[in-house]
Copies of this chain bind each other. A is one copy, B any other.
Amino acid sequence: MAVPSPQVLVDGVAEGGIPAHDRGFAYGDGVFRTIRVDQGRLWLWPDHLAKLTSDARKLGLPLQAADHALLENEARQLTDRASGTLRLVLTRGSGPRGDRPPRPAALRRVLLFYPGATPVIPSAVRSLRLCRTRLPRLPELAGVKHLNRLPQVLARQEWPGPEPDEGLLLDADDSIVCGTMSNLFLRHGNRILTPPLEHSGVAGVVRERLLTGRIPGMEILKTTVTTAQIGVDTLLAADEVWLTNAVVGIWPVASLKDSEGRELAGWEAPGPVTTALAVGLVRLLESA
């Protein structure tokens, strides 16, 4: 089976390969971002760079301020004026054998560009599917988008091929954490809630925008977003549900299914807040 190859820059070298002793390959010792690109514009670039910096610091990767311009230049060189999705990976570079990080370590930059039409905002509605796989707790790296993704891989294997559901991941204490590639939000009346991600999960840049009220027009909702432990019962009682993701922006959620695919609940989708947020995200996109 031929898998289409993305366009690649490895430490600035076109079509480069990753050395087999790169620590990203050996241990998943790295962080990444997935960036929406519209005709060369890198959506939410400052947000991605800030999160990359924060994530790299939590892992102890030697990302310097001087690397920021380099990363932006390489991203613009690779994407040119095209539309698609950019994956930006930073690893702790090549290391000797063994888990212990080399000091000093040399950062490795790996950019992959997948050309193709970018999804409209809001994207088509999704169903949520409760996964049997539980996200493991690693509080030191909670929220970090790192390369240890086997829990998400296992979760995504739970249902067949192209079905466009999104898997919903709980932790061992039955608290909802996030989707396999998205963050969850729900509305109860005038309150908007999202899980706190203190023990596990990935904190996306659109989630951060919602939490800090930095989406155009969001003020007219006259509500704030708060973090809260959310169990399945709380989700079932929601008035409106949506997912956020840095490539698709926002997914209205129409239903919740159990791990066998049986529907547990349904919602009107997109709901009013989802629609208002989608309008704001489109304005963000146009101003990028």
Interface residues in chain A, defined as those with a beta carbon under 8 Å from any beta carbon in chain B: 1, 3-6, 8, 10, 16-29, 34, 59-60, 85, 87, 89, 93-104, 106, 110, 112, 114, 133-134, 136-138, 140-141, 146-157, 161, 172, 180-181, 200
Contacts and interface: CB of A to CB of B under 8 A. Distances in A.
For the residues of A in contact with B, the DSSP-based class is: loop
Contacts of A155: 99
B18 A25 contact: yes
Contact of A101 (B21, B100, B137, B153): B153
28 contacts: A3-B102, A5-B19, A5-B94, A8-B19, A18-B19, A18-B25, A20-B89, A24-B25, A26-B147, A26-B149, A28-B28, A28-B148, A28-B149, A29-B153, A87-B97, A97-B112, A97-B114, A99-B155, A99-B156, A100-B153, A100-B156, A101-B156, A101-B157, A136-B138, A138-B150, A138-B151, A148-B149, A148-B150
A114 B94 CA distance: 14
A219 to B, nearest CB: 35
Nearest to A20: B8
B147 A60 contact: no
Contacts of A152: 27, 99
Contacts of A147: 25-28, 150
A25 to B, nearest CB: 5
Given A99-B181, A148-B149, 15 more contacts: A3-B93, A3-B95, A6-B20, A17-B18, A17-B19, A18-B19, A18-B22, A22-B25, A25-B89, A25-B110, A25-B147, A99-B155, A99-B180, A100-B157, A137-B172
A60 B200 CA distance: 24
Contact of A102 (B1, B8, B34, B137): B1
Given A97-B114, A138-B150, A180-B99, A3 B21 contact: yes
